[in-house]
Structure 1
Amino acid sequence: MHAQIVLFDGFDPLDVVAPYEVLHAGGMASAGAVTVELVSAEGPREVAGGTGGLALRSTAALDPERAGLILVPGASGPMEDSPDIGAQGESIPALLGRTLTTELPVLLKAAMDNPEITVSTVCGGSLILAMAGLLEGRHATTHHLGMDMLDATGVHPVSARVVDDGDLITGAGVTSGLDLALYLLEREVGPRVAHAVEALFAHERRGVVWRNTGLEPVRF
């Protein structure tokens, strides 16, 4: 499984680094069955995150034709515009909205149309897809402060740590990136590899993994 983790201006570093380390370790534990790289819509470049200007380098352009996994992080910054906090003082909603002016939505749509790709998100990454009109009618989660926005864009919001909606897997708040990536390893490579990585990082997964299967519960 090859994983492409997307960088965009103002990304949340923890949304990127936590899944990257888990997936990279999964590659080591599986003798190379998992590979991971950092990409952007624009191709190789330095990309400034929203936490203190911390930058990471994308090494390639996002490729919606390459089978495997694409992971979209959220943004980091204040909830409202501020001259002192975040990337250029921009709020998280502004940073997420700015991605819609790039080629990223077009590339993500192509990826979601590709049956050989699973698209995943951490935190506000699902809001990028939702604002681009790519999640209507789907089940997804995000940071608790963004659940109303999911609902407003025609998404079925689910309050769970990880939501598995088939070829769309979304994580909730920032640290859910660890649990999301471990779940991806378990689903795609197997539970033994996922457990080995979990033990290596001394991390115990928490919260619910909600799957769109089984009987629909009646309301209490």
Structure 2
Amino acid sequence: MSDLLPISIGLLLFPNLTQLDLTGPFEVFARTPGAQVHLIWKTLAPVTSDRGLTMLPTATFADCPPLDIICVPGGPGQIALMDDRQTLDFLSQVAERAQLITSVCTGSLLLGAAGLLQGYQATSHWSSLDQLALLGAQPVQQRVVRDRNRITGAGVTSGIDFALTVVADLYGAVVAQQIQLQMEYDPEPPFTSGSPRSASAQLLQQARSSSASFIAARREATLRAAAHLAQPAP
């Protein structure tokens, strides 16, 4: 493992993100020998997640080093970024040089808004998966989806599976398995209700009803981003 080539990984750290979308992959990537992991935002000021966890960026858009991998997490704050040209332009610029362009949860919608998923298969949180089609992507209901150099993870906890998949692709299954063992990532959830495929119809309906207004707001942002993508380039 000491002979692994160094790799530069950037995780977008934005206000009101879902912290596990970021910290799950961060834990995996930070354990990868030779990996340099950067938390990137517009400034170095503290950033607070949707549930109140405050984190510090380590690099800004302006001084971000060249990245081999860019990873975009999701969360409620993703909605405000769907027409934030500074953020979308940054993602587009980084993607021109990155080896892998990746996301977790609704971070895939941000990749889509930046025009980076047109013609690609991708996944997202189950509640917003269908919105990927509005951005030219092909939605796939899987925990991790790879299409060429795009790798996307589904909702929240899928970020750990996603990151282990990335490490396995880059360094082989043995390295990824060693990290998984270090983390004792061996989930045995107490309930079989973690996805629409396993949750009861009643539980799923309750979840859809409770988040309906929020998902509608997210869809409006996705529609605006889709309209921008449809405009001819100047």
Alignment TM-score > 0.5, same fold: yes
Q: State how far apart, in whole Å, the 2-side matches of 1:132 and 1:102 are.
A: 9
Counterpart for residue 103 of structure 1: 86
Conserved 8 A contact 2:145-2:153: yes
Counterpart for residue 199 of structure 1: 181
Q: CA deviation at 1:134?
A: 2.7
Conserved 8 A contact 2:119-2:138: yes
2:131 pairs with 1:130:
no
AA matched with 1:111:
V
Higher helix content, 1 or 2: 2
Aligned residue pairs, count: 180
Q: State how far apart, in whole Å, the 1-side matches of 2:171 and 2:60 are.
A: 25
AA matched with 1:110:
Q
Q: State how far apart, in whole Å, the 2-side matches of 1:203 and 1:10 are.
A: 26
Counterpart for residue 169 of structure 1: 151
2:135 pairs with 1:153:
yes
Q: CA deviation at 1:195?
A: 0.6
**Could you say what secondary structure the match of 1:133 adopts?**
coil
Structure 2 residues not aligned, in runs of 5+: 1-6, 189-234
Question: 1:102/1:46 Cα in 2 relative to 1: closer, same or farther (>3 Å)?
Answer: farther
Report Cα offsets for 1:112-146 as digits up to 9, x if no partner.
222x4311100010011223333221110001111
Counterpart for residue 54 of structure 2: 55
Report Cα offsets for 1:11-43 as digits up to 9, x if no partner.
11101111111111123xxxxx22212111x13
Range that drifts further, 104-113 or 54-63 = 54-63
Counterpart for residue 216 of structure 1: none
Q: State how far apart, in whole Å, the 1-side matches of 2:9 and 2:74 are.
A: 17
Q: State how far apart, in whole Å, the 2-side matches of 1:165 and 1:109 are.
A: 18
Q: CA deviation at 1:67?
A: 3.6
Conserved 8 A contact 1:139-1:163: yes
Please provide the CA RMSD for this pair: 1.9
TM-score normalised by length of structure 2? 0.72
Q: State how far apart, in whole Å, the 1-side matches of 2:130 and 2:79 are.
A: 16
TM-score normalised by length of structure 1? 0.76
Of all paired residues, the percent bearing the same amino acid is 32
Q: CA deviation at 1:194?
A: 0.6
Conserved 8 A contact 1:73-1:123: yes
Q: CA deviation at 1:49?
A: 0.8
**Could you say what secondary structure the match of 2:127 adopts?**
helix
Q: State how far apart, in whole Å, the 1-side matches of 2:53 and 2:85 are.
A: 21
2:28 pairs with 1:22:
yes
Conserved 8 A contact 1:161-1:172: yes
Counterpart for residue 13 of structure 2: 7
